Amino acid sequence: MIATGADGRFAGADFVASPNCDERPPAEAVTLLVIHSISLPPGEYGGEAIERLFTNRLDPAAHPSFEALRGLRVSAHFLVRRSGDLRQFVPLQLRAWHAGESVWRGRRRCNDFSIGIELEGTDQSAFTDAQYQRLALLARGLLDLLPIRDIAAHSDIAPERKTDPGAQFDWTRFLTTLARR
């Protein structure tokens, strides 16, 4: 199990505070884990662009694809890099702005009751062994800590807008690895 402190930070995760979060609604339980994927620029890995996006420091002029992100205020609780390194942007008790307009099992506003985990990757590329291992370890820690009942893809909660983590994400592998933890 991964330890967490009263501040909502996970041991083993580098913490970089994102301003793109706020309080959850009163007495709202976290019951959903949402898996996303992201790469900035699209299809490129490494670098600081994701962190800069989540901390409102992304320069729209730094890459042609970044212009579409101008003024966007988003975050996730966690980012799992290709190497398996783990970064946390939002404490668990706060609502990260990762899901956008979303619905899960008839409930709207999934940010209110979910934790968002971004995997560095795209819909078109396979994820790494290190990512599956870290994701399973993180998810097991979250399942042990929070009353999470469901795990969903971003595409499951926002099917009209999103496709991530995509067809290359191996759900069977992830869930099998998670069950062994």
* Catalytic residue IDs: 118
| Contact criterion met (CB below 8 Å) for 74 and 138 | no
Query: What does DSSP assign to residue 163?
Result: -
Closest CA relative to residue 81, chosen from 40, 114, 110, 115: 40
Query: DSSP alpha helices (H): ranges in the chain?
Result: 49-54, 129-145, 154-157, 171-180
Please work out, in degrees rounded to the nearest 5, the angle formed at the alpha carbon of residue 111 by the alpha carbons of 109 and 112: 75
Enumerate the β-bridge partners of residue 119: 37, 80
Q: What is the dihedral of CA 165, 167, 172, 173, to 10 degrees?
A: -70
Residues 6+ apart with CB under 8 A from 44: none
Reference 104, options 149, 157, 148; nearest CA is 157
